[in-house]
Amino acid sequence: MTDYISEYKKKTKGSVKLFDKSLKFHVNGVSHNIRFFEPYPFVVKSSSGKNLVDVDNNKYTDYWMGHWSLILGHGPKPVKDAVKKQIEKSWMYGTVNEQTIKLSELISKAVPVAEKIRYVTSGTEATMYAVRLARSVTGKNIIAKIDGGWHGYTSDLLKSVNWPFTESESTGVVNEEKIVSIPFNDFEKSLEILKKVSNDLAGIIIEPVLGGGGCIPANADYLKGIQEFCKKNNSLFILDEIVTGFRFRFGCLYPTMNLDPDIVTLGKIVGGGMPIGVMCGKKEIMEYSNTKGKKKTERSYIGGGTFSANPMSMTSGFATLTELKSGKTIYSKINSLGDFVRKEITKVFDGKVIVTGKGSLFMTHFVKDGVTEVINSSQAAKCDTSLLNKYHFKMIAHDGIFFLPGKLGAISNAHTKEDIKKMINATENFQE
Ligand SMILES: Cc1ncc(COP(=O)(O)O)c(C=O)c1O
């Protein structure tokens, strides 16, 4: 490890200087907690295709891909062209605009639940409103989430995010007793917990593939069971597809599991790398947010904000989805590269790892403490996360390959099989 740190320090002399400056202005030098890694993160000056370039001109093949939002890679031409054209017209209207309607037409055709759509500027905001809407619609208070589920920093969902899922994640958050958490992929135990709060349960929010919680796909029967419980209990079933929406196919993941959620949240890919969050829902549910003809005691007062549905995000989202829709081979290509990478990393580590994921998302878990499967966040947390950090850091320092240490990797359309083979090669050379 020490060698890799010296190697990293030698090649990132410009970054360290700039990061020292960043520390003066920003807590821990960053504007998103997860962007910090030891000894200091390199500072990026540009990106293109599959690559990030830092201020010392080091090039990294990127598997972080803008928090997994850049499915077409950095700055893909059709998106860049559309954004340039829009910027000529202007970048902020603060009014209803054509660009929004175009994006909504695409989303509503691909996502059956999107009978009505509301745009915001982050996934955090989208899940915050989804929770509020569920409470308004049902007149109940409690929201259930998954142990290890991540829905952004929304106060209402900032519980049971990190192992051991029992301590509060933060001071300054109130009414945490209104959030309960259930174990992923364990229907019996989840049901036990849900039954205890059923009278006051407004909704359940779940990611169909746990992202931050370990890149773990949900079992379809588990989600079906949870959905059925919600329907019987008059609680809303909310799927957070901010990571999974348009990641594996043109649309959401839920139709492939025959699910029928009440609300779906989207973000990341549908903004094509510009700020976005989206709430999609059935008409009768979304209408609770209609301020026309509804008393304060009846409505759910949900946003936007200044920058919601801004023409830049709408344009880059529309161009990205258009490209995904017309590029018939994109999904089959990146999904099969994902299958390849899972198989090869598993082979290289020969019994020491479990590689989880789906399609173009993957994560390596170094097993320890008798873990034999990773189907929930507890098992993921019991794996050797410091070894995963070492493995990722080695690739940053030595191989010009970037994973945000400890996080899942995302393959974009800009990656090739050659890139994946290089990463496998770098994996073979990793020594603990
Ligand atoms: C599943 C999920 N929901 C919500 C969010 C929050 O989105 P944002 O970071 O845009 O606020 C994230 C972010 O990674 C996420 O993974």
For range 236-250, the mean pLDDT: 98
Q: What is the mean pLDDT of the chain?
A: 97
CA of 294 to the centre of ligand 1 (A): 31
- Predicted confidence at residue 73, as pLDDT, reads 98
In this prediction, residue 363 has a pLDDT band, given cuts at 50, 70 and 90, of very high
- Predicted confidence at residue 369, as pLDDT, reads 86
CA of 124 to the centre of ligand 1 (A): 6
CA of 212 to the centre of ligand 1 (A): 9
In this prediction, residue 261 has a pLDDT band, given cuts at 50, 70 and 90, of very high
CA of 273 to the centre of ligand 1 (A): 13
Instruction: List Cα–Cα distances, 268 to 18, 85, 142, 155, 431, in angstroms.
Output: 28, 22, 27, 20, 34
The atom of ligand 1 lying closest to the CA of 149 is 1
C-beta of 151 in contact with ligand 1 (< 6 A): yes
Is the pLDDT at 127 greater than 90, yes or no?
yes
C-beta of 243 in contact with ligand 1 (< 6 A): yes
- Residue ranges and CATH numbers for the domains of the chain are 1-62 (3.90.1150.10), 77-326 (3.40.640.10), 328-392+416-425 (no CATH)
For range 352-364, the mean pLDDT: 98
- Predicted confidence at residue 303, as pLDDT, reads 87
- Nearest Cα residue to 348 out of 266, 240, 297, 421: 421
407-424 pLDDT per residue, tens: 999 999 999 999 999 999
In this prediction, residue 328 has a pLDDT band, given cuts at 50, 70 and 90, of confident
CA of 180 to the centre of ligand 1 (A): 19
Tell me the percentage of the chain whose pLDDT exceeds 70. 100
- Predicted confidence at residue 2, as pLDDT, reads 55
Half-sphere exposure of 202 (CA within 13 A, CB side): 20
CA of 242 to the centre of ligand 1 (A): 6
For atom 2 of ligand 1, the residue with the nearest CA is 151
- Nearest Cα residue to 355 out of 344, 347, 365: 365
Question: For the purposes of burial, counting CB atoms within 10 Å of the CB of 221, is it exposed (0-12), middle (13-18) or buried (19 or more)?
Answer: exposed
Is the pLDDT at 1 greater than 70, yes or no?
no
- Predicted confidence at residue 306, as pLDDT, reads 98
The DSSP code for 119 is E
C-beta of 67 in contact with ligand 1 (< 6 A): yes
Question: For the purposes of burial, counting CB atoms within 10 Å of the CB of 72, is it exposed (0-12), middle (13-18) or buried (19 or more)?
Answer: buried
189-198 pLDDT per residue, tens: 999 999 999 9
For range 264-293, the mean pLDDT: 97
Among 242, 244, 274, residue to substitute to test ligand 1 (most atoms within 8 Å of Cβ): 242
C-beta of 214 in contact with ligand 1 (< 6 A): no
Is the pLDDT at 381 greater than 80, yes or no?
yes
